[in-house]
Amino acid sequence: MWFGLFPLPWWGYCLFALGVTHVTIVAVTVYLHRHQAHRALELHPAVAHFFRFWLWLTTGMVTAEWVAVHRKHHARCETEEDPHSPQVLGLSRVLWQGAELYRAAAAEDRVLEEFAHGTPNDWMERNLYRRFSMLGIVLMAVIDLALFGVVGITIWAVQMLWIPFWAAGVVNGVGHALGYRNFEPADASTNLVPWGIVVGGEELHNNHHAYPQSARFALRRFELDLGWCYIRVLEVCGLARVKRVAPQVILAEKGEADPATVRAVMRARVHVMAFYAREVVRPILREELAAADARCRRLLRRARRALIREPSLVDSRHRERLEAALARSQRLETVYRYKLALRQVWSGAPRSREAALERLQAWCAQAEATGIHALEDFAARLRGFTVVDPRA
């Protein structure tokens, strides 16, 4: 028992621990997150049940509870009702107490009733996985102990800490505090790194919040979503079917915006604002920086982040910097004002697609009359904004 049934060299124990924890990561991102919480893909029943059994064995998590907490996170993101927002609770608390926050949210009244619809409720779920949720991790401890002796207890401890730290702590915490942003949804989500390997693609958290129902998280050429790679393998084997992925978008020349343009803008609004930041705000800011004196240049640099940022996420300190910069630069003030006006095309609840089309056409016509070349060019190309299904 001291050495277990299968004694290994030290690197063998490390490889085994990495292997089993990686299977758990894949189960979380593919089964719990993309399949159950967001219905972005369908899984063969045998694959889905394997993941459910593995999660019971290695984490003790109940599908309905995880899904409900995650859906509530999206529905109440960065508010007092968000189960794990570092913007509200602080990064340190979410990073180190993520599992406790998850359990507290799952225990709240009506959370499962409101957010857990569509999750498994068969005999196995009711009588084993949910009723004896802790039995699985006890069984896992016995298995590790039998296989590797005392070292097995260390491996088991790593398994028990892996998801609470990487998923509940790092992704939910650091993924809403530090990193880079491709898009500006109305939350603080970030991409931790462009290579989603350690947490199976969950590192691309900003991309996920931009398109929550997409089965693929990597949206730029240099990004890698390992979870998507596994999904594609399952799909090729006939064990999965992808239902939705984020669209590819095109800015092209077209004489006039039409209902198809409005549908595309509504569907890919985060792409619209990303294009606006890249093709209008940043070029104008560079031009203003080149022409400014030293004092004004410092002011403009300090306002750079707020110019791009989702307005609801700009705090009072950065808002003051933004207002000071806009007061010094008429062209930036115009560009920022048109950015806010563009958002009104899909916000403010227009009563019909026709009303939204009128807003878009009016915005394009007014933008083209500003005399700012970058804004004029963007408005002309926005008329041809088109979304393409990358899997078609």
Contact 362, 342 (CB under 8 A): no
Cβ neighbours for 135, distance < 8 A, ≥ 6 positions apart: 128
Which pair of structure tokens corresponds to residue 228? 């998507």
Section 347-375 average pLDDT: 86
Section 199-215 average pLDDT: 97
- The C-alpha atoms of residue 56 and residue 167 are separated, in whole angstroms, by 16
Question: Radius of gyration of the chain from Cα atoms?
Answer: 24
Give the pLDDT confidence of 7-25 residue by residue, as tens digits.
889 899 999 999 999 999 9
Q: Beta partners for 204?
A: 191
Mean confidence (pLDDT) of the chain: 93
Section 91-101 average pLDDT: 93
The predicted model scores a pTM of 0.93
Section 50-77 average pLDDT: 97
Contact 270, 185 (CB under 8 A): yes
> What is the number of other CB atoms lying within 10 angstroms of the CB of residue 147?
16
Cβ neighbours for 78, distance < 8 A, ≥ 6 positions apart: 85, 87, 88, 176, 186, 187, 188, 313
- The C-alpha atoms of residue 263 and residue 252 are separated, in whole angstroms, by 15
Angle of helix 10-26 versus helix 150-163 axis, rounded to 10? 30
The secondary structure of 178-222 as a DSSP string is SSB-SS--SS---BS-SEE-TTTTTTBHHHHHHSTT-S----STT
Contact 224, 218 (CB under 8 A): yes
- The C-alpha atoms of residue 388 and residue 392 are separated, in whole angstroms, by 8
Give the pLDDT confidence of 267-322 residue by residue, as tens digits.
999 999 999 999 999 999 999 999 988 888 999 999 999 999 999 999 999 999 99
Closest CA to 177 of 160, 193, 190: 190
Section 123-129 average pLDDT: 96
Q: Where are the domains of the chain?
A: 10-242, 259-388
- The C-alpha atoms of residue 205 and residue 28 are separated, in whole angstroms, by 14
Half-sphere exposure at residue 237, Cβ-oriented, CA atoms within 13 angstroms = 12
Question: Chain-centre distance of CA 175, in angstroms?
Answer: 8
Environment class of 88 (CB within 10 Å of its CB; exposed 0-12, middle 13-18, buried 19+): middle
- The C-alpha atoms of residue 350 and residue 387 are separated, in whole angstroms, by 21
Section 342-357 average pLDDT: 79
